[in-house]
Structures are given as structure tokens and as C-alpha cells.
Structure 1
Amino acid sequence: MTSPTEKLREYGYELPAPKPPVASYVPVVTTGNLVYVSGQISSNEQGVVTGLLGETLNVVQGGNAAELAILNVLSQIVHGAGVPLADIKRIVKLTVLVASTSDFFEQHLVANGASNLLVGVLGDKGKHARAAFGVASLPFGAAVEIDAVVEI
């Protein structure tokens, strides 16, 4: 059986180092059997993926940015909370914020970048409830920010 980490590699990804908080909050909180992950932006070792959907980025680029944001969420679960990917019982809920113009209406398609990666890596445990909506701007000009609630 292929492990979630191996499946992640099949998508061409390794978990990045967790990002430290940039304001007055903690990146991850575990209480009982739930892990709450603070908003993680679309960034990788090259920096922040910036842009505005409907202006400088298209849906495919936004979906790729959402994949990076969810990788940062998974990194906080594994490295911040100390929970191996294989020990995740369920991704319960995602909130996906998409920096977009007022006439961009496909935030749900951008969010699919994160959702599809989770299901691809975790199978049914990656299926989740979700909210996706547009915002005028995000920290550091990020294209996407995602927070999560996870059952362990």
C-alpha cells in the first residue's frame, strides 16, 4: 500500500519546512482529537505566489497556488503538531480565501487545487467540508490562503 507521503511525492511534492507565524498567533493548535491550522498562504521556497484571480492569474494558476497553500497546511500538521500524514483520520473543514477581482466568480475552482490534492494523497480521509470565497487582498499579496480543521 502506498503511504500518503509516497503519494505526495507522486504529485511531485515534498512537505516544506513549516512557516513561522508572522503576527500574534500560533500556526497550529491541537485540542482533543482536533488540529486547527492557522491560515497558510500560497508560498514555496521561491517565495510567495502573488496575484489577483481575474486580473493577473487564471484559474489554473490559482489552483496551483492553492496546492502550495495546502502543502503548507500539511506541513503544519506534520511538523507543527507532530502528526504523521498516515495518522490523519479526516480533513474536516477547509476555508479557502482567494485574492480576486470583484467580477471573478470561480473561487470554488481555485479551491479545487487544494481539495483534489488532499483526496489524491489521503483518499477518503481527504474529503472535507469547505468554504471558498474571494477577498480583496491577502497578507504579502498572496493569491490563496487556507486554514483547516483536521481530525487525528
Structure 2
Amino acid sequence: MSIEARLNELGIALPDAAAPAANYVPFVRTGNLLYVSGQVPQQDGKLVVGQLGAGYSVEDGKAAARLCGLSLIAQVRKASGDLDKVRVLKLNGFVNATADFGEHPAVINGASDLMVEVFGEKGRHARSAVGSSSLPFGVAVEVEGIFEIE
């Protein structure tokens, strides 16, 4: 089954690939590697803001990370033109969290689980999940990725 068919079967509609918010590009391809800039969670055109450990739950954070993952896939589709030729190599997740919050991996699972759901075995990847005292625009999560294009 093609990745586009899988997205349809799962009822997943990818957002439009977002334009950069500053002086950078959304992705860079070198050879068969694609580096995608950090994607922030957006829903219905609005940023998803919040801080884990300060009234924002792990499940809320996981949902925000999934939104970041959807944006990553949208950027990859724009860059590659064919999601069937894509393998996910690495995700780096940043969690806006209080100093005592420690469930960063559970939050970033929202993006990781999505990659496996969409790409199957080619969605399994290396990963980092890091806490930060703040993120741009007050968003809850930011996720960047490295992909291989066959």
C-alpha cells in the first residue's frame, strides 16, 4: 500500500507545508538525506501553546507532538514529491517544560508513534527528547527530523 493510500485509510489529512517564520529554509536536501527544520504544533491555523508540568498534561503534549509530526511529513512530501521513497532516520524533539518535569520521551512519542503508523518499518528511527524552559512563541513542543529519500 502506498503511503498516500495509508494516510487516506488512517483518515490523516496533512497540513500545508508551512513557510519559515524567520531567516531559514524549511528543509535542506543533500544527496539522499533530507533535513527538515523544527516544526511547531498548529491546529486550525493557531499555535498550540503550553508548558508541560504547568497545567499542560502529557497527553496534551503528545497530541502537540503528533501535530509537529504531521507538519514534518508535509514538509517531506513537498521536498521529495513521493512519500513512498522516504525512510525516517532521526527525530529531535524539544518539550517546553518546567524544571521538575521528566516525561519528555512520552510527549515526543506523539511524533514517533505517528511516523511508525504512517511509514511502518521505514518509520522506525533514532530519537532525542529534550526539555527546554521555553520554546518559540510559547509552543508546547517542537520537532525536527532527518529523512532518507531513496
- Normalization by structure 2: what TM-score? 0.94
Q: Distance in 1 between matches of 2:96 and 2:54?
A: 10
Q: How many residues align?
A: 149
For the structure 1 residues 36 and 65, does the alpha-carbon distance in structure 2 shift closer, same or farther, using more than 3 Å as the test?
same
1:1-152 alignment, distance < 5 Å = 2-79=1-78, 81-88=79-86, 90-152=87-149
Q: Among the aligned pairs, what percent are the same residue?
A: 46
Q: Secondary structure at the match of 2:5?
A: helix
CA distance in 2, matches of 1:10, 1:50: 30
Contact conserved, 1:16 with 1:44, CA < 8 A, in 2?
no
The answer for unaligned runs of 5 or more in structure 1 is: none
TM-score relative to the length of structure 1: 0.93
1:71-115 per-residue CA deviation (whole Å, 9 max, x = no partner) reads 111111112x13321110x21111000001111000000011111
Q: Flag as ranges the 4+ runs of structure 1 deviating above 6 A.
A: none
Distance 2:5 2:98 in 1: 37
Per-residue CA deviation, residues 40-74 of structure 1 (Å, 9 max, x unaligned), is: 00113331111001112111111100000011111
Deviations 1:18-54 (A, max 9, x none): 1111111101011100000000001133311110011
